[in-house]
Structure 1
Amino acid sequence: MRFNKVAKLVSLACSGMVAVSAPVYAAETEESVERIEVTGSRIKRIDMEGASPITTITADELAKSGFSTVGDALRSSNLNAFGSWGGGSNNGWGSQSTVQLKGASAFHTLTLLDGKRMAKSPVMDGGAANINTIPMAAVERIEILTDGASAIYGTDAIAGVVNIILKKDFEGVQFDARLDRPEQTGGDSSNLSFTGGLNSDKGHLVFTVEHYEQQKIMQKDRWYTQPFVVEGGDPNDYQDWVNISPTGRVLTQGGAGGWVYSAPFSNSDKSCSDVYGDAFLGPLDDSDYPGDTLCAYDYTRAAATSTDQTRNNTLIHYNYEITDQIELTARAYWASNETIDISAPVPASISIPNGLPAYTTDEGLDLVELVADPDAGMNYRFDTAGDRVAEHHDNIYDILVGLDGSTDNLDWDISFNYNKYDNYTWGTGYQLKGATTDLVGQWNDQTNSFEGWDPRDPNSEMPAGATANYDKRMAATYVDINGGLSFELFELPGGAAGMYVGASYREESLDSKVAALAEAGQIVGGNGGSGGEGERDVTAGYFEMAMPILDNLELNLAGRYDEYSDFGGTFNPQVSVRYNLIEPLLLRASWGTGFRAPTLSDLYQGTSEGFGYIKNYLNCYEQGESIDSCSRWDYGPTRTGGNEELQPEESESYNLGVVWEISDQVNISLDYWSLETTNLIDSLGASEIVRTQAKLWEAADAAGVARPDVSTIYPGTEISRLGNGKIDYVVSQKLNVGLSEREGIDVKVGAGFDSDYGDFNFGLGWSYFLKYKSSYSSAGVQILSDDEAGREGTPDHRVNLTADYSYGDHVVSYFGNFIGSQKSWDVVDGSWDPDAGQTEDDGKLYEIDSIFYHNLTYTYTLPWNNSISLGVTNLTDEDPQFAYDGTYDADLYDIRGRTYWAGFRQSF
C-alpha cells in the first residue's frame, strides 16, 4: 500500500497488562514499511501512538494476568472505571458480560471484532455486545481506544472503542487446557481450546475451537450473601435485616380487616421456622408499619449468586491473495452459550376475597383469621413448587467477506458482514397469576372443618395447576456493507496529505417475544418482558484526512453523517492533532461529538415488569411526614416500555495528552479527558415518579386546586395504590431525561530492563476521575448532581500494576487491580449529637474501604514445544467491600475468592 509519509512515529510497546507505546522517529527513507489500520482510524499508517490514546493488550499479556476469559480481563482493567456487569443470577442478563469505558453506560462502549461491529445482544436490548462470547484462544490482541469515535464508527462509540483483533498469522497446531478451583465453594471453571493454522504461497487459514465451563456460586456459599442484622439493629424488626424477603407467609388484610399485615398463626410458642421450615424467619415486626407482623423468607438458601455456564466457540479466518493487488478476507464465527440461572421460589400474592376463618389445625396450629374483603389475600413464597430455573441459550453467527486492493494511486476496500444473535430462555417454576385464588379451599359448616388447600397451613398440600413456564425468544440481526477509498491529496512540508472516504449501509432487526401469558402479565416471578419488534436501515457517509503539516506536526480531520430510517440523521465531526515538541516528547489533542441511536428495543419495547423496593412518598405525605425525609419503603412491580418518540443521545468529548520516551527502557503517557453527554435515554425510577406525584399533591393542596396526575409531568407514567396506601405498581416508559459530565486523567507507564540475571518488565495504568456529575429528575426538571467522583459505586481511583520476570524457560508474572475507597451516602449512626444542636448533616459519612487484588502466574517452558502454568487469582482472598447496609457492588468486586489454577499448552 502506497500511503507514504502519513506519519513519522513507530511504537515501542512495553510488556504488561497496561502496555504503553512511546514514539521514536522513523528513518527518512522511501523503503517499504508495513502500514496497519489502527483502532480509531481507517487510514493505514506505520505508527500506533497517535492523536488519540490507545491501550494495547496482547494475548500473552492476557494469559500472564491470570484471567481465563476475555470478559474477566476487560472488566478488571483500570479503564473500566466503575466496573461492569459480569453475569449473575435472578435476572434476564444472567448470560451476559459487558465493559464500560470511562464509567459510562455499556451502551456507550462500541465493541469491534477486527474493526467491524460485533453482534449486539438482544438480551441487552441490542445496545451492547456480550463479551462472554469471545474465545480467549482466538485473540491476538485487544486495542482499547479511550476517545470518542462516532466520527469514525457511528453510533455507540461515545466513551470509546474496544477492538478485539483475532489471530491471523498462526501456523501449526496448539492445544490449551486450564482448570480453576476456588478455595470457597462454587465457581469452579475449566476451558479447553484447539488452534490450528495453515500457510500457502497465497493464502492463510486459522481455525480455533474453545470450550469453557463454570459452576454456579450459591448465595448460601458466601457469608456476606447470607441473612444478617445490620450493626446495632433489632433482630425482631424486618427493616433491620439484610438478605431476606418480606414475602414468606403473610396475611394481607383488606379494608374490612383494617389493612393489617400479620403472620398466619398466633401460637406464641412457635416460630415461623418451626411451622414453615428453616428458610423462614420470625414472626418479625415492621417498624415502617407498626402493628404489622410477618414470616420473612431466607431466599439465599435456594438462590444462586452466579450462574452455571457452558460456552462453545468456533472461529475460522482465511486470507487469500487473488492477485498481487487484491486480497480476499473471509471469516466465520459461531458462539453457543448455555447458562443456568437458579432463583429462589416465586414470591407472589394470592387474592382471597372470601377470607379464611380462624381455627386450630389437628397439629395444634392456631390460624389467624383473614377477614373477607375484595382486597384480602396472602403474600406467599411458593417454596412448595420448587425453585425458578431459567435456561438461557445464546447463539451468535457472524460471517464476514471482504476485499482489499490497491493501485498505483489509491487503496480501496469493501466488506459484507452478517451477524445474528439468538437467545432463547426456557423458564420453569413460575406461577400463573390468579390461578392460586381458585385453588384455595373453604370452611365447611356441615363438617365443621376446612376443605381444600389452606395456604396458612404447612400440612395442607397445594393442588396442581398454579405453576407455569416463563419462556422468551429474542433475535437480533445485522447486515452491514462498508466500502471506501484511501488516496493521497497533495504534498505538505511533512509529507503527502492523505484522505479516506467511505460509505456504509446497515440493516437492523429485532424480534423479541415472550410466551403469551407472560406478555399479558399473567406469569408471576419472571423478568425481562418483550423487547418488541422493529427494523430499520442506516445509511452513512464518512471521511478522514491526515495532514502532516510539518515533519513533527500532524492534523487529522474526520466527519460522519448517519441517516436512520426511524428518527432521522445526525452529523458528527472530529479534529485531532499531534506534535513532537522534541524527538522523544509527543503532545496530542482531540475534540469530537458523538451519539448513540435509540435501540430498536428503546423504541418498540413491549411492557415488562420488574420487582423492587419503592419509596412510598405518597404515604409519608398523607401521614403528615416530610416528603424529603420519607423513609417508608414498599416492595412492588414497576412496568416499563419503549417510546417511539425518542431521540439520539449526544456527547461532546476532548482529550489532551503527552507521551514521553524517557529512555529506551522507560516511557510514560498522560491524558486528560472530558466527556459530556446529553439527552440520555432512561426509564424513570419508580420512587422518583412517586416522589413527583407527592410533590404535585403538596403544591396543589397548598394552592387549593385539584391534584394533577404525575403523567402531566412525565408522559406515560402511572401509580396504582392499595387501599392502605401501599404501592400496588408503578408504570414508567423510556424518555430522553438524562445528562452527565465527566473528567479524568489516564496515566500509563512502561519499563523494561535486561540483565544477566533475567529480564524485567513493569507496567502501570492509573485512571483518576476528576469529576463525575449525573442528572436526576425532580418534578420534570433535570438537575445536575454535585460531584460524585469517589462516592459509592463511582471510585475515583482505579490502578493496574504488572510485573514480569523471565529467566530462561521460567517466567513469573504479577497483576494487581486496585479499586479506590468510596464515601457512602449514608451517615453513620451516632456520629452526630442532637443535644449539642447538631443535625444529621454534621454526621460522618460511612466510607467503603479500598481493595487491592493480586494475581500471580508462573510459567515453565518445557523442551517439547509445551509449557505448564500455575497461578492464583485474588491471592489474599479479598471479600467484596460493603456498603453501609451490608450489600456490595457486584460490578466492582470479586466473589470467587482465592482461586488456584493450572494450565497446559502443547504446540506442534
Structure 2
Amino acid sequence: MKFNKIAKLVSLACGGIVALSMPAYAVEADTDNNVERIEVTGSRLKRVDMEGATPVTTITADDMATAGFSTVGDALRASTLNSFGSYGGTSNNSWSSQATIQLKGADASHTLTLLNGKRMAKSPVLGGGATNINTIPTAAVERIEILSDGASAIYGTDAIAGVINIILKKDFEGVEVKLRAEEPDAEGGGDNHSASFTGGLSSDKGHLMFTIEHFKKSGILFSERPYTAAHVKDGEDPRDFRSWIGLSQTGRTIDMGPNGGWEYQTPFTNADLDCKDVYGDNFKGPLNDSNYAGEKSCAYDYTKAAYNDVDQERTSTLINYNYDLSDDIQLTARAYWASNTTTDVSAPIPGYIQFPQAMPAYTTAEGLDLRAVPEGGAMLYRFDTAGNRVRESTDNIYDFLVGLDGTTDSFDWNASVSYNKYDVFKWGTGYQLKGATTDLVGAWNDTTNTFDGWDPRDPNSDMPSGATANSDARLTSSALEIDGGLSFELFDLAGGSTGLYVGASYREEKLDSQVDALDAAGLIAGGSGGAGGSGDRDVTAVFMEMAFPILDNLELNLAARYDDYSDFGGTFNPQFSIRYNVFEPLLLRASYGTGFRAPTLEDLNQSTSVGYLNVTNYLKCYEDGLGIDGCSIIDNVPVSTERNENLGPEESESYNFGMVWDIADNFNMTMDYWSLETTGLIGSVNNSEITRTQAVLWKAADEAGQPRPDVSAIYPGTSISQNGAGKLTSMTNVLQNIGLSTREGIDTKFAATFDSEIGEFKLGLAWSHYLKYTDSSPEGGVQTISRNWSGTQDYPDDRINFSANYLVGDHSVYYQADYVDNQSTTDINDDGGSYEIDSLIYHTLSYSYATPWNSTVSAGINNLTDEEPSFDAYGSYNGSIYDIIGRSYWMSYTQAF
C-alpha cells in the first residue's frame, strides 16, 4: 500500500481545536495483502487513502480539554462551521434544557448527529427534529468528526448541511479519574464542576469500556451581568421609565381606565414613600413617562428574579463492549444512559387585573394611602407574591446497540439493531390561571367601612388561593432501527479495485408530546401552549456506494439512497464526488448531492392550538374601497394553528469544490467552496399574509368578472371567517412547505508543526467565510427572495479560530483566539444610515503538566480579556453567538492507574 504525502500529515490534527480537516479513520490490517484500509466518516466503504472527496474536520478529546471546553456541546458550538451560532440552553423558554449545532448557519434540524455512526436520539422538546448535544458525556468521547457536506445519500434524512459523528472510546485500558472545576470572574452564577470515572479491560478477544460522569452548572441571573442588569441608558434621566433597560411597567401600576383618561398612576399617593419602600427591592419608582406627561408607574426589575442561563445537572453512563466471536466476526454492544435536570427560573407572571367595580381611596392600617380608581379601571400587576415561575425539566436518554461485523473471502458484511428513547417531564410552578385573579378582587364594605377581601394595591393584603396553577408537560420520542449491508471488490481499474457497498435499513419512529389540560386550552398565563401531539411511522431504505479508482491519482465515487416513509412517501437522493491528485502534494476534490429532511412527527401530528392575535384585515380595506396596500384595520382574532398531514420533505442541493495542499512536510492547508440550496422549508404563513392574499385573489377575480376563489387554493388548509360587518371572527393556519434559502461560503484551514531546540510548536487556523445567505417570504402568494443577509445583524460573514500550542518535555502551553466578525444593521438611524455591531475576539490560555505519577494537571483562563457580547443599536445581543459567562478560571486533574 502506498500512501500519499497528505495522509502522512494526519498528526497535525493534534494542533488544537482548529486542526486540519482530516477525515476520521480506523485502520485495520488485511492479513492477505498487508494493506491498511481506512473507515472514513461520510462513507460506508473502507478506503486506502485518508483524504476523501468530502471535507471532514476532527476534534479530539485532547483538543477539547486543552481549549478549556467543559462539554461536547461547548466545543461544537465554538466551531467556525457553526457559522451563525446555535442555541445553547438559555433560560425563559420551553427549550432551556437543550443545546444544538447548526452547520453552515442552517437550521438545527439540517445537521444530523451520530453516535459511533448511528443516529442519536432526537429530542421531543425540539419536535423530534434535532439532537440535544447537552446530554453527551465528555469523558466517553475519543473524537468528534464533522462532515461539512450534504450526506443524505449516505445517511438519509437531516444530513442536509452536514453530519456530526461522535466517536466513543473503544480500546481504553486501565482506570482514569478526572475532576474539573470552572469559576467565572464575575460575581454570581456560571460556575460548573464535573467528575468522571472511566475504566477499561482488554483481552486477546475483546475490549470493555465503562464511563460514568457527573456535571453540574449553576444558572446566571440577568442582574449578575452588568449589560443584562436593569440600568439607565447612557446620559438619560433615571426618573423616566423610557430611560431604563430591564424594567417593566407591569409592576404595581394603576390603569385609570376610560373614566380616568387611561392614565397610568402609582397605586399609592404617599409623597414620602417610593415603590421600593412599599412593594419591595425589585420595584423602581415612581417613574415618569416621557411619552405620556403626568403619568407615573411602579416598575418592576425583572432582572433580579429571572435567569439568563439555567441551572443544569447531568449524570451519564456508557458501556462499550467489543468481542471477537471468531477470526472473522466481531460483536459490538453499547448501552448509554443520561439524565439531565434543568431548572429554569423566570420572573413572576406579569398580569392585567380588571377591577370589577370602582376602587375607593382609603388609608390602610399601615398608613398607606391608596389611590382611588374609577369604574373601568385596572392594574398592571406583577405576581411576585406567588413567587417566581420555576420550570424543572428532567430529560432521560436511553441508547442501546448490538452489532456484528464480519468478513469472508468474497465480501465484508455488517448488521446492527439499535434503539433509543428520549423522555422528558416538565414541572412548572408559579404560573397563573388566566382571568382568575379578576374574580378574586374584593370590594368596599359600606357597613364596616373597610375593604373586604384582596386589594391588589395593598402589599399587606394577601391574594387568596385559586389564581396560581402549574404548567406541566410529558414528552417522549423513540426510534428502533435495523440495518445491514455488504461490501465487495468488483473489478480492477488502473488505480485499484472498484468497491461496492449495498445496504438496507428499517426504522420505526414514535412521538408522544402532551401538556396538561389547562395549558392545552391556553388558560395558563406564560405556560407551554399547545402540545406536539402523538404519532408514529416507519421508514424503509435501500442504499449503495461505489468507488471507482480510475487512475492511481483519480477516484470517482457514486452514492444513492431511496427512503420510503409510511406517512408522506418516498424520496431518492444521489451523490457524486471525485478526488484528483494533480501531483503528490496537491489534491483536488468536488462533490454534488441532493438531500432532504422529512417532516417531523410533530410537524404532522401537532395538536391544535388557539391564540388571540392581531391580524390586518385587508379584506375589509378592499371591500370598503380603501385599497389593499397601506391597510391599517387591525382585528384581534382567534387563530387556530392546526396540523398538516400533507406536508412533504424539505429538499436540498449541495455542491463542494476544494483542495488539500501539502505545502511542506510540516505545513498544509485545505480550502473548500460550498453551496447549499434548500426548498420546501416547513413553516407557517404570516396570518396577515393570508388575509392579504385573499384580498388580492378577490380583486383579481372581480376585475376579471370571475367567482372569487378561496385563499386555500394558494395556502392549503388555511381559512378566514368574517361577520356581516366584515370583521374577522376566526382564522385557521397550518404548516406549509413554503420556504427557500441559498447559502454559499468558503472554509479554509491551515496546520503546521515546527520542531526546535526549545520545544515543539503546533499552529492551526480555521476560517469560515460566508458569501451569501438569502431566504424567502410569501407576499400575495408569490415567493419573494430576500437581500443577501450575510454580514448583517445575527449573520457574521467571518468566523476564525487560531491556535498555538507549545510543548516542551512534560509541559504544554496553549493559546486560542476566536474571532466573530462585525455585522451591519441598515435603516437604524433617521437618515437611513446603518449601525455596526463590533467584531469581537475571545482569548483562551491554558497550561498542562504531565506528572511522573501518571497524571495530568491543567489550568486555564477562558475569555482572558473578559469580553462582553457585541451589542446592537438597542443594547441587545445574540445569545447564540456571544458568551455571557465572562472571564472564567478552570482547573482539571486527571489520574490514570
Task: Tell me whether the two structures share a fold, i.e. TM-score over 0.5.
Answer: yes
Residue 882, structure 1, aligned to residue 884, structure 2? no
Tell me the CA shift for residue 734 of structure 1: 2.5
Match of 2:525 in 1: 524
Residue 253 of structure 2 contacts residue 267 of structure 2 at CA under 8 Å; is this kept in 1? no
The match for 2:842 is: 853
> How many Å apart are 1:468 and its aligned residue?
1.3
Match of 1:865 among 843, 854, 862: 854
**SS state at 1:827 partner:** coil
Partner of 1:216: 219
Q: Which residue of 1 aligns with 2:352?
A: 349
Work out which of the residue numbers 91, 98, 105 in structure 1 matches 2:107.
Answer: 105
TM-score w.r.t. the length of structure 1 is 0.89
| Secondary structure, aligned partner of 1:63 | helix
Find the counterpart in structure 2 of residue 262 from structure 1. 264
- The aligned runs of 1:144-543 (5 Å cut-off) are 144-184=146-186, 185-230=188-233, 241-251=244-254, 257=259, 260=262, 262-263=264-265, 265=267, 267=269, 269=271, 271-282=274-285, 294-352=297-355, 354-362=356-364, 363-372=367-376, 377-527=378-528, 529-543=530-544
Q: How many angstroms does 1:710 deviate by?
A: 8.3
Compared with structure 1, are the counterparts of its residues 615 and 177 closer, same or farther at alpha carbon in structure 2 (3 Å cutoff)?
Answer: farther
CA shift, 1:35, in A, is: 2.1
**C-alpha deviation, 1:653, in angstroms:** 0.5
Is the deviation greater in 523-532 or in 287-296?
Answer: 287-296
Query: TM-score, normalising length from structure 2?
Result: 0.90
The Cα of 1:542 is off from its aligned counterpart by 0.6
Residues in 2 aligned to 1:787 and 1:677: alpha-carbon distance in whole angstroms: 15
> What SS is found at the alignment partner of 1:10?
helix
CA distance in 1, matches of 2:524, 2:717: 23
Distance 1:859 1:640, change over 3 A: farther
Q: 1:396 to 1:303 in 2, by over 3 A?
A: same
What amino acid maps onto 2:803 in structure 1? Answer: T
Map 1:699-778 to 2 at 5 A.
Answer: 732-778=733-779
55-64 or 742-751, which deviates more:
55-64
In the alignment, which of 134, 141, 148 is matched to residue 132 of structure 1?
134
Change (3 A) 1:216 1:711: farther
| Residue 494 (structure 1) shift | 1.0
Q: One-letter code of the match for 1:64?
A: T
The reply on whether 1:95 has 2:93 as its aligned counterpart is no
Deviations 1:532-551 (Å, cap 9, x if unpaired)? 10100001111111000111
Bigger mean CA deviation after superposition, 818-827 or 558-567: 818-827
What value does the CA root-mean-square deviation take over the aligned residues? 3.7
Tell me how far apart the structure 1 counterparts of residues 236 and 633 of structure 2 sit (CA, whole Å): 17
Is the 1:59–1:140 contact (alpha carbons within 8 Å) kept by the matching residues of 2?
yes
SS in 2 for 1:877: coil
The residue identity in structure 1 corresponding to 2:602 is S
Out of 104, 117, 122, the position equivalent to 1:120 is: 122
Q: Is the 8 A contact 1:21 1:667 kept in 2?
A: no
1:697 to 1:634, Cα distance in 2 relative to 1, 3 A: closer
Structure 1 residues 300, 711: closer, same or farther in 2, change over 3 A?
farther
Q: Provide the C-alpha distance between the structure 2 equivalents of 1:813 and 1:413, rounded to a whole number of angstroms.
A: 41
Mark the CA change 1:509 to 1:448 in structure 2 (over 3 Å): closer, same or farther: same
Contact 2:5/2:584 (<8 A) preserved: no
Can you list the C-alpha shifts for 1:264-319, whole angstroms capped at 9, x where unaligned? 53738365445433423455677888997654322111001111111111111000
Alpha-carbon separation, structure 1, partners of 2:396 and 2:843: 34
CA contact (8 A) 2:268 2:457 kept: no
CA distance in 2, matches of 1:729, 1:226: 41
Q: Distance in 2 between matches of 1:698 and 1:537?
A: 41
Distance between the aligned counterparts of 1:261 and 1:202, measured in 2?
82
Distance 1:473 1:320 in 2: 39
Residue 412 (structure 1) shift: 0.5
For residues 504 and 28 of structure 1, what CA distance do their matches in structure 2 show?
Answer: 28
CA 1:590–1:877 in 2, change beyond 3 Å: closer, same or farther? same
By how many angstroms is 1:439 displaced?
A: 1.1
1:10 aligned residue: 7
8 A Cα contact 1:6 1:495, kept in partner:
no
1:639 and 1:731 in contact (8 A); partners too: yes
What SS does the aligned partner of 1:429 have? Answer: strand
SS of alignment partner, residue 404 of structure 1: strand
| Aligned mate of 2:40, from 38, 41, 44 | 38
Q: Deviations over 1:430-473 (max 9, x none)?
A: 11223222211123333344321122333322112211111111
Secondary structure of the structure 2 residue equivalent to 1:34: strand
Cα distance in 1 between the residues matched to 2:555 and 2:643: 45
The one-letter code of the counterpart of 1:865 is: N
Q: Which amino acid aligns with 2:170?
A: K
Equivalent AA in structure 1 for residue 401 of structure 2: L
**Residues of 2 paired with 1:553 and 1:78: CA distance?**
30
Shift of 1:707: 13
Query: 2 CA distance for matches of 1:46 and 1:97?
Result: 36
Pair 503,695 (structure 1): closer, same or farther in 2 beyond 3 Å: closer
- d(CA) in 2 for partners of 1:695, 1:294: 42
Distance 1:35 1:683, change over 3 A: same
Mean alpha-carbon deviation: is it higher for 290-299 or for 33-42?
Answer: 290-299
Secondary structure class of the residue paired with 1:455: coil
Q: 1:203, 1:408 → 2: CA distance?
A: 23
Change in 2 beyond 3 A, CA 1:556/1:303: same
Which residue in the other structure is 2:85 paired with? 83
Q: Which residue in 1 is equivalent to 2:687?
A: 689
Alpha-carbon deviations, 1:338-382, whole Å to 9, x = none?
111111101233344x3333423333434242424xxx6543211
> In 2, distance between residues paired with 1:43 and 1:210?
34
Between the aligned partners of 1:818 and 1:627, the Cα distance in structure 2 is 47
Asked if structure 1 preserves the Cα contact closer than 8 Å seen for 2:269 and 2:369, the reply is yes
Shift of 1:745: 0.2
Q: 1:309 to 1:639 in 2, by over 3 A?
A: farther
> Aligned residue for 1:835?
none
Native 8 Å contact 2:370 2:457 kept in 1: no
**Which residue of structure 2 lines up, in the alignment, with residue 560 of structure 1?**
561
Residue 175 and residue 29 in structure 1: after superposition, are their counterparts in 2 closer, same or farther (change >3 A)?
closer
For residues 565 and 291 of structure 2, what CA distance do their matches in structure 1 show?
50
Tell me the distance in 2 between the aligned counterparts of 1:86 and 1:636: 34
- Which residue identity is paired with 1:10? A
Contact 2:515/2:528, CA 8 A, preserved across alignment:
no
**What's the offset of the Cα at 1:197?**
0.9
Residue in 1 that maps onto 2:672 = 671
Residue 260 of structure 1: how far off its partner (Å): 2.7
**1:877/1:707 CA distance change after superposition, 3 Å:** farther
| Matched residue SS, 1:470 | strand
Code of the aligned partner of 1:178:
R
Q: CA deviation at 1:424?
A: 0.7
Tell me the CA shift for residue 640 of structure 1: 4.8
Q: Is the 8 A contact 1:773 1:786 kept in 2?
A: yes
What is the CA–CA distance in structure 1 between the aligned matches of 2:542 and 2:3, rounded to whole Å? 23
Check conservation: 1:693, 1:709, Cα contact below 8 A. no
Residue 531 of structure 1 deviates from its aligned partner by 1.4
Query: SS at 1:517's partner residue?
Result: helix
Runs of 5+ unmatched residues, structure 1: 833-839
